[in-house]
Amino acid sequence: MKTYDPQAMYSEWTSQLSNQNNWQEWMMPAKAFLEMPMRTMLKDLGAELDTATLSKLQSDYLQEFGGLWQNFLSSSPPVFDDKRFSSSEWHSQSTHSYTVSSYLLNARFLMSMADAVDAPEKVRQKIRFAVQQMIDAMSPANFLVSNPEAQLKLIESKGESLVKGISLMLADMQKGRISQTDESAFQIGKNVATTAGTVVFENKLFQIIQYSPLTTSVHQRPLLMVPPCINKFYILDLQPENSVVRYAIEQGHTVFLVSWANPDESMSDVTWSDYIEDGAIKAIHVVQKISKQEKINAFGFCVGGTIISTALAILGSRGENPISSLTLLTTLLDFSDTGILDVFIDEEQVAKRESSIGAGGLLPGRELASTFSSLRANDLVWNYVQKNYLKGEAPPPFDLLYWNADSTNLPGPMFCWYLRNAYLEDSLKIPNKLRVAGELLDLGKIDAPVFIYGSREDHIVPWQAAFASTFLLNPKRKNRNRFILGASGHIAGVVNPPAKKKRSYWMNAEICTESEKWMAGATEYAGSWWPEWASFLAEHAGKLIKAPTKAGSASYPPIEAAPGRYVAVRAE
Q: Would you tell me how many other CB atoms lie within 10 Å of the CB of residue 65?
A: 19
By three-state DSSP, how is residue 469 classified? helix
Number of domains in the chain: 2
Report which of 173, 154, 106, 130 is spatially closest to residue 42, judged by C-alpha positions: 130
Q: How open is the CA angle 381-386-392, to the nearest 5 degrees?
A: 120
Distance CA 544, CA 187 (A): 35
Q: Is residue 163 part of a domain?
A: no
Mark whether 138 and 224 lie in a shared domain.
Answer: no
C-beta separation of 225 from 255 below 8 A: yes
**Domain termination site, one of 106, 124, 143:** 143
Contact present, 10 and 134 (Cβ < 8 Å): yes
Least confident range from 19-33, 419-433, 520-534: namely: 19-33
Please answer whether residues 262 and 185 qualify as being in contact, where contact means their C-beta atoms are separated by less than 8 angstroms: no
pLDDT at 221 over 60: yes
Query: Domain range for residue 56?
Result: 6-143
What's the whole-number mean pLDDT along residues 396-401?
94
Residues 220 and 138 in one domain: no
| Residue 29, CA distances (Å) to 18, 102, 349 in order | 12, 10, 30
Q: Which tens digits make up the pLDDT trace of 489-522?
A: 999 999 999 999 999 999 998 878 899 999 999 9
Q: How many other β-carbons are positioned within 10 Å of the β-carbon of residue 365?
A: 22
400 exposed, middle or buried (CB, 10 Å; 0-12, 13-18, 19+)?
middle
Residue-wise pLDDT tens digits, 246-286: 999 999 999 999 999 999 999 999 999 999 999 999 999 99
Model confidence at 37, in pLDDT bands (50, 70, 90)?
A: low
Q: What angle do CA 566, 571, 572 make, to 5 degrees?
A: 130
SS3 for 364-389 is CHHHHHHHHHHCCHHHHHHHHHHHHH
Write out the catalytic residue numbers.
302
138 and 203 assigned to the same domain: no
Helix H segments across 375-448?
377, 383-384, 399-405, 412-418
3-state DSSP assignment of residue 207: strand
| Mean pLDDT across the chain | 90
Are residue 104 and residue 221 in the same domain, yes or no?
Answer: no
Task: Tell me: do 87 and 210 sit in the same domain.
Answer: no
Amino acid (one-letter) located at 214: L
317 occurs within a structural domain = yes
Does some domain include residue 158?
no
Q: pLDDT value at position 48?
A: 74
Domain shared by 126 and 212, yes or no: no
Instruction: Please tell me whether residues 248 and 137 are part of one structural domain.
Output: no
* HSE of 31, CA atoms in CB hemisphere, 13 A: 10
Answer yes or no: is 384 within a domain. Answer: no
At 359-372, the pLDDT tens digits run 999 999 988 888 88
Regarding whether 339 and 415 lie in a shared domain, the answer is yes
- pLDDT band at residue 312 using 50, 70 and 90 as cut-offs: very high
State yes or no: pLDDT of 474 exceeds 50.
yes
Backbone angles phi, psi at 448, to 5 degrees: -170, 155
Residue type, 450: V
* pLDDT score for 21: 40
CA dihedral 497, 501, 506, 510 (to 10 degrees): 70
> 432 lies in a domain?
yes
Both 332 and 475 in one domain: the answer is yes
**Is the residue at 312 inside a domain?**
yes
What does pTM read for this prediction? 0.90
- Give the per-residue pLDDT at 34: 39
CA dihedral over 114, 116, 117, 123, signed as positive or negative:
positive
C-alpha 327/C-alpha 494 separation (Å) is 12
Q: What's the angle, vertex CA 370, arms to CA 40 and CA 402, rounded to 5?
A: 160
Please give the Cα distance from 268 to 361 (Å, whole number): 4
Average pLDDT, stretch 463-467?
A: 97
% of the chain beyond a pLDDT of 70: 92
pLDDT at 214 over 90: yes
Cα–Cα nearest to 482, from 539, 536, 540: 536
Domain identity same for 203 and 138:
no
On whether both 40 and 138 belong to a single domain, the answer is yes
The verdict on residue 65 lying in a domain is yes
pLDDT per position as a tens digit, 431-451: 999 999 999 999 999 999 999
pLDDT digits (tens, 9 = 90+) for 550-568: 999 999 999 999 999 999 9
Final residue of a domain: which of 104, 128, 143?
143
DSSP helix/strand/coil, 40: helix
CATH of the domain at 352: 3.40.50.1820
Please, what sign has the CA dihedral across residues 482, 485, 486, 492?
Answer: positive
The angle formed by the CA atoms of residues 354, 359 and 362, to the nearest 5 degrees, is 80
Q: Which helix (H) or strand (E) holds 451?
A: strand 450-455
Are 116 and 231 part of one and the same domain?
Answer: no
Is 363 among the domain residues?
no
